Amino acid sequence: MGSSKYHVVVNVRVYSSTDEGSFLLVADNALDSILQIDVTSGSNVTLPFGDPRWPLSVDYDPTTDFVYWTDRYDRDIKRARRNGTGRETIVKSGIISAYGLALDFAAGNVYWADSRARTVSVARMDGSFARPLLTSPTVDSPGGLVLDPRNGYMYWTDWGSNDRIDRAAMDGSGHTTIISNLTDPNMITIDYSGNRLYFCDGGEHSIFSTDLLGNDKRRLLYLPSDYLFGIAIDDNSIYWSSWTTKNIGMLSRSNMQQQNVLVDSLLSPNDIYVSMTTPTDVTNACSTSNGGCQELCLANPEGKTCACRWFWKLQQDGTCLPPGLRTPSYLWLDHDPDNSVTSVKMTAGNSSVIRGLRGQGRPFPFVTLFKSASPSRIEAIDYDFQRNLIFWADTGLRELHTVQLLQDGRIQSFSTLLEGISSGVEGIAVDWLNQNLYYTDSYLNWIAVVNYKDNPPRHHVIAHAGVDRPRGIAVHPQAGFLFWSDWSRQKPRIERAVLSGEQRTELVNTDIGQPSGLVIGENRLYWADTFRDTIESCDLDGNNREVFYTLRGTHFYDITFDGEEIMASDWSDDSINFIDGERTLYFKGEGYVYGVEFFDQSRQQPGPTECQVNNGGCSHTCVGDPDGHKCLCLPNFHLADDNQGCIANEHSFSKALFVGSDSGILQLPHNFLGLPEAGDWTDSYIVRGTEAFAMEFNYAGKMVFYTQQQDDGTQNIERLSIIGEGDTMTIFENGQGIEGIAVDWVASNLYWTERRLGRIHVSKLDGSLRRVLISNLDQPSAIAVHPGRSYVFWTEVGSDPKISRASPDGSNRQLLVSSQAEDIVGKPTALAIDYLQDRLYWVTSDPGNVQSSNLHGGDVTTLWSSTTANPFGVAIYKDYVLWTDNSTQSLSFGRPSVFFGILSEKTTNLSTAAYNIKVYDDTEQPVFTSACDDRNGLCTELCIPKGENRVCACAEGRYIQADRVSCSDVPSILPTTPSPTVPTGGYSPEDFVLVADSDTGNISQVNITSGSNVTLPLRSAYPVALDYDVATDYVYWSDYYDEKIYRAKRDGSDFEAIVDKSVIGIYGIFGLALDFAGQNIYWTDWGTEIIGVAAMDGSNARAVFSQNLDYPQGIVLDPKEGYMYWTDSDYLKPRIERAAMDGSERNILISSGLATPIGIAIDFNGNSIQYVDF
C-alpha cells in the first residue's frame, strides 16, 4: 500500500450552484485552512473558518451553505457556512482519523468512515444521535465513502489486509464486498446519472469505473508516474488528485484524450480526498417527518430503519430509551484511552450468577449505561439505592454529578452536584441514611462532604491537616464512621474518623504500601494495596488484620463486595476480578478499569437517624455520629453556642479582588467598578502584618498563596485556607527574593521565582516534591502559567529586561520580548494572561507601562504609559485590565483597546503600597485537561504537563529512573556497557545474528564467525521485525499476516503471542526494540501510525505516539540515556527523530539529505547512530 492513505491532508469536493460556477473545496492541513477553488480558472480563496487545526475530509450542503469537515487534530467534525458564520463542532467523540465524510440530504444525516477507529458511523446533520453502524472486523480500515440515498446503499474503500470496495445498506445491514483484489483503492464517488462507481487505485496509477454491483470494470485513466488518490465527477469532467505530481487534474468526459492540470500550487496535495456531492433533490422513506423515527432514520433498499443514538435501545413502540440499571448488578467505569471515552457499564447479577455464566462458557455480559467523551472523564462511582440516585466524580470536568433514575432503572436526568473539584478525586462514598456524599481529593489533600438533599448542596472540607494523598473511601452510617486510605509518601495508612471528620485515628500504618479502594462487608473493612498486590481486611477498629487474597504482579485499584465475593479492578492488565479468597474469576476490560460498585439494596439497609428529623436541628448540614449527630457550618460561618445554628463570619465571600500590599492582602469587592476614588480599607484585610509582595490563589482548593517577609530579608511562602478556620501552612522557607508565584490549577503544581538566586522552582500545592526548574536567570521576577497551552511565562529585570516562555518542565525556552530588542521599555514587574483571548499582559516600572502581546511575543501593544508611575501588579478580568501603581498607592482599571489604549479609566486610592493583584473568581481558572489528569500521569512524584504529553520529575536531590516515571535517592543503575545484543569488540565463535525472512517465514541464526546458519523452530507466517533478550534467551518478533507480536526461546519452547490487535491496533509493525533496563518492548507500526510500548510479557500495551507519524520504520533504544530513535520514510518528509522513552522531548534529528530511511542502530562505542537509506 502507498503511505498516502494514512495521512490525508487535502480533501476536495466539487460543487455547482445556480448563482456561481462550479468550485472545489480543498482542506489543506499544511495551511490549516479550507480553500474554495474555481474549476474553470483555478483561482482560489481561503474560507474564513478560523484556522482549522488539521482538516481532513470535507463535504458541502448547498441548501444551507454549510461546509462540513473532519479535523484529525481535534478528532471531531465541524461545520460552518462559507462566510464563516455558524461555525460549530457537531461530533466531539469517537473520531480518530475520519477520511470519508458524506451527507445524506434525503434523510438529513451525516456519515463518516474512520480508518483508525475502524468504524462507519452516522448522526443527524447537527451531530445529534451519533452512533457507529459498522465496526471491526466487518470493516478493517475504511477510507473513502460515498452514499446512494436513492437506493439506500453506501460504498467505501477498505485499506485493510484485503484491499477492496465494500457495500452495505445505509442502516449498516447487508454488508458485502463487491470488488476485491485491489492494490491501493483510495477515494470513491458515484455517477448518479450513469449508475456507475468511479474510484482511484494509487497502486495501479489508474482511475477505474464499474457498475453499482462492482461488475464491468473499466480503466479510464492510466498515469504510470502518478499515485492517484481522490476523485470527483460532474457532467463534463472527471477530477483527480495526484500524490506524486502535487496537482489536481481534469479529464473531459466527452473526450478522454483531453487532460488538463486544474491546480498545481497546493502545498500538500499528495494526500488529497476528492468526491462528488450527492444530489439534493433525492427523496426516500426518511425524507418526510424523519420517516416517523424518534431519533435516526436510516435508508435501506426496502425503505428505512429507525435507530437510536449510541448505546440507547429502540423500543417496540419506536421510541428510544437508554438501558436500565438492574438490581442486583455490578457497575464499573471503563476508560478508552485511544478515543478518550469513559463508559459506565453494568453486569446484572451477583458473583454467583456471573460464575454460573462462566461455567456455561459464555462471555462476560455487560450493558453500557452511559458514555462520556473528553474532556469528561469519570473515575469514581457510588449510589443512593432508596432514592434512585447515581453519583460519580468527573475529574475531566472537575465536577461531581448526580444521575436521577426512574423506578425501572433508566436514566431520567443528569445534574451537577458540585463544581470546582480537582482532577485528583478518586474515591466517593454515599451516606444514604443522612444523604451526604463524601469524597477524597489527592491533589487538594482533603476529605470533604457534600449534603445532596439541600438545594443548593452544601460542601464542607472535614479533614485537611496531615492528609497527603487520600484515595479510597468508605462510610458506615449506622456506626457513624468514615474510613479512607492515604498514599502518603512518608506514611501510607488507613484512617478512621467520625462522620464530621473529627476523632481521627490510624487503623493500619504498618506493612502497607499504596492502599487504594475500600469497602465494608460483614462489619469488616477491606482494602486493596496496589503496591503489595494484596486485598486485606480488619475489624472496624483495626484489629484482627488478615490477608484476604494476594497475587504477585497485580495492582488492585478499587474493590466492592456483594456479600459473598470481592470484585476488584486491576490496573496491571485493566481487568475485572471476582475473588472469594481462593478462586479468581478474571475478565479483561476494554480499556482502563477504574471504580467498581455492587448495586443492590442489601448494601444500603434503611434505618432511622437523628438527621432525618428536622435536619437534626442544624442550620446547615447534619452528619451522623456514633453518639447521634453533629452540625456542620458552611465555609465563612461558625457554629453557634447551641451547636446547631451557624453564624456568618465577618469576611464571607466567594469572589473578591485581592491586592497584595506592604501591610498584608486587601480583600476588595470583585465588582471593582463600584469602588470609590478613596475609601477606608482598614477592615478589609484577609492577611495582616506582612509585606505580601507576591500572591496567587487556587480557586478549587480555596487557597491563597503569598510571600511573608522575614526579619532577615528572606521570604516564606504561606498558604492560607479561606474556608473553615482560615488555617495557614508554610510552603517554602528562606526564599531569596521571591517576587512571583503562579499556580497550575490543572496539574496542581506551584511555581515561584527567586530573584537573587536566579531560579524558578516547582512543587506540589503543599510545597512537597520541590525542585529547581530553571536556574542561571538574570533576576527573575514575575511568573504566570497557562495550563491550556502548556506554557510558563516569566520576567527578568536584570541588565536586559525581558519576558520569556517555556514548557512547564522548563524545556523549550523561548525569548518573547526584551529591552535589547526594543520590544519593551522599563522593567517588567508583573504578568497576567487573558485565557479567553490568549494574550499576555505585563506592566513595567521605570517608566510605567501597561503592555500586551500574543502568546508568542508578537503584536506588542502599549495600552497605557506614564513616566512618573511605578506599576507593580496587573490582572485581567473579563473585558478589563487592572494594575497597581506604587508611586500613588492606587489601583487603576479600564477596558483595553488596540487603537485607543485604556478606555473608561478609573482610579481608586488604596492608602498603602500596592503590589500584586488578583481577581478571585472561578472564571479566572477555567477548565483545561492535561496528561497528568489520569493517574498522575503514572508518575510516582511530580507530573508536569508538556503539550499533550507529560514529564515525570523528582524532588530536588532525587533521580528519575530508567522507566522515566519513578524516582530514587540514587541514580538509575543502567548498563554502563552496550546491550548484550551489541558486540563490544571482536566476535567470539558463539556470536550470531538473527535474521527474519518474510518470504520463507523463517527466523534464522547466522554465526558471525563462520557464516553458518540454522533455521530456528519458531512458527511464523510473515516475520518482519525482531529483537533478542540474551538474559532470558527469548526471541521477540512481529508477524505481518497474524498482526501479532510473538516471543519464544530459540529452541522453540515457551512460544506465545504477547501483543495482538485485540489489545492495541496492529497493522504493519516494522521495527522492534527491547528496553532491558525498564523491561519493556517498543515497536513502530506504519499501518496504525503509532509507536507502541508494552511490558516484555505484553501487558500494559499502549501507544507512546499516535500523532504526527507518517511511515515509522526502524527503532532503536538507548536505555542508559533514556532515549529512543526511529526512522520515518514518508515520501515528502523522510526524517530521523528522537524522543525520551516516555514520549517527551520529541524532536527531529535529521530531515534533509534523506531518501527512504529504514533500519537504524546505535554504535555505543562510537556514540553515534547508524541507519540505512535507500
For residues 1063-1069, average pLDDT: 75
What lies within 8 Å, CB to CB, of 291 at 6+ separation is: 107, 285, 297, 304, 306
Q: Which of 603, 633, 666 is the last residue of a domain?
A: 603
Query: Where is average pLDDT lowest: 40-49, 383-392, 717-726, 922-931?
Result: 717-726
**Confidence class for position 1033, pLDDT limits 50, 70, 90:** confident
- Residue 437 main-chain phi, psi, to 5 deg: -110, 125
- Closest residue by Cα to residue 372 from 364, 381, 383: 381
386 within a domain of the structure (yes/no): yes
Residue 790 has pLDDT above 90, yes or no: yes
Would 51 be classed as within a structural domain?
yes
Residue 826 lies in a domain: yes
Q: What are the φ/ψ torsions at residue 1040 (nearest 5 degrees)?
A: -65, -40
Residue 1012 lies in a domain: no
**Mean pLDDT (whole number) for 238-248:** 80
Q: Does 121 lie in the same domain as 16? A: yes
The band of 731, judged by pLDDT with boundaries at 50, 70 and 90, is very high
Task: Assess whether 639 and 712 both reside in one domain.
Answer: no
Domain membership flag for residue 996: no
CATH of residue 206's domain is: 2.120.10.30
Segment 127-151 mean pLDDT? 91
Residue 902 and residue 941 in one domain:
no
Q: How confident is the model at residue 982 (pLDDT cuts 50, 70, 90)?
A: very low
Q: Give the mean pLDDT of 349-377.
A: 77
157 located within any domain: yes
Q: Measure the CA angle with vertex 603, ends 579 and 415; round to 5°.
A: 110
Most confident of 53-67, 251-265, 466-480: 466-480
131-135 vs 119-124, strand pairing mode: antiparallel
Q: Which residue has the higher pLDDT, 473 or 688?
A: 473
Q: Which is more confidently placed, 613 or 466?
A: 613
Position 1141 pLDDT exceeds 70: yes
Region 1109-1113 average pLDDT: 87
How many distinct structural domains can be found in the chain?
6
Q: Is residue 684 part of a domain?
A: yes
Residue 107: pLDDT band (50, 70, 90) is very high
One domain, residues 851 and 725: yes
- Given a cut of 60, is residue 988 above it in pLDDT? no
Residue 18: pLDDT above 50?
no
pLDDT, tens only, 627-646: 999 999 987 788 999 999 99
Assess whether 830 and 918 both reside in one domain. yes
pLDDT number for residue 753: 98
pLDDT above 70 coverage of the chain, percent: 93
Give the pLDDT band of residue 980 (cuts 50, 70, 90).
very low
Give CA separation, 169 vs 165, 525, 1117, in Å: 14, 55, 48
pLDDT confidence band for 800 (50 / 70 / 90): very high
pLDDT at 299 (0 to 100): 96
361 and 282 in a single domain? The answer is: no
pLDDT at 697 over 50: yes
Q: What is the mean pLDDT of residues 439-460?
A: 92
What is the per-residue pLDDT for 42? 81
Average the pLDDT over 1029-1049 and give the result: 85
Span 861-900, pLDDT tens digits: 999 998 888 899 999 987 789 999 988 899 999 888 777 7
Please tell me whether residues 697 and 735 are part of one structural domain: yes
Tell whether the model's pLDDT for residue 363 goes beyond 70. Answer: no
Q: Is the pLDDT of residue 978 over 60?
A: no
pLDDT of residue 979: 37
Domain shared by 597 and 624, yes or no: no
CATH of the domain at 962: 2.10.25.10
Looking at the structure, do residues 902 and 955 belong to the same domain, yes or no?
no
pLDDT, mean of residues 512-539: 95
Which band of pLDDT confidence, cut at 50, 70 and 90, is reported for residue 976? very low
Task: Supply the pLDDT for residue 1.
Answer: 36
Q: What average pLDDT does this structure show over 383-397?
A: 93
Q: How many CB atoms lie within 10 A of CB 880?
A: 18
Mean pLDDT of 605-632: 95
Final residue before a domain boundary, out of 864, 889, 924? 924
- The pLDDT score that the predictor gives to residue 3 is 32
> What rounded mean pLDDT belongs to the chain?
87
For residues 425 and 467, membership in a common domain is answered with yes
* Residue range 1082-1092: mean pLDDT, rounded: 87
Mean pLDDT over 93-116 rounds to: 88
Q: Comparing C-alpha atoms, which of 419, 444, 440 is closest to residue 429?
A: 440
Output the DSSP codes for 543-606. -S-EEEEE-TT--EEEEEE-SS-EEEEETTTTEEEEESSS-EEEEE-SSEEEEEEEE-GGGS--
Q: Look up the domain containing 641 and give its range.
A: 610-648
Residue of 302, 274, 267, 271 lying closest to 286 (CA atoms): 302
High-pLDDT (> 90) share of the chain, %: 49
Is a pLDDT exceeding 90 seen at residue 1015?
no
End residue of a domain, out of 567, 585, 603 = 603
Residue 1084: exposure state from Cβ atoms within 10 A (0-12, 13-18, ≥19): buried
Q: 176 exposed, middle or buried (CB, 10 Å; 0-12, 13-18, 19+)?
A: exposed
CA distance 827 to 802: 8
3-state secondary structure of 288: coil
Residues 623 and 690 in one domain: no
What pLDDT does residue 977 have? 33
Quote the longest CA-to-CA distance of the chain.
Answer: 98
pLDDT at site 279: 67
Q: Please state, in angstroms and rounded to a whole number, the distance separating the CA atoms of residues 1080 and 873.
A: 50
What pLDDT sits at residue 604? 95
Q: What phi and psi values does residue 562 have, to the nearest 5 degrees? A: -110, 10
Contact 669, 652 (CB under 8 A): no
> Ranked by mean pLDDT, which of 254-263, 289-298, 1073-1082 comes out on top?
289-298
What is the mean pLDDT of the segment spanning 1091-1108?
Answer: 87
Q: Between these two residues, 681 and 1113, which has the higher pLDDT value?
A: 1113
- Are 516 and 618 in the same domain? no
Contact indicator for 884, 871 with CB cutoff of 8 Å: yes
Q: Can you give the pLDDT at residue 981? A: 38
In a domain, 750, yes or no: yes
For residue 4, the model assigns a pLDDT of: 30
pLDDT, average across residues 75-83 = 91
Could you report the per-residue pLDDT of 1147-1159, keeping only the tens digit for each? 999 988 888 899 9
Instruction: Give residue 268's pLDDT.
Output: 54
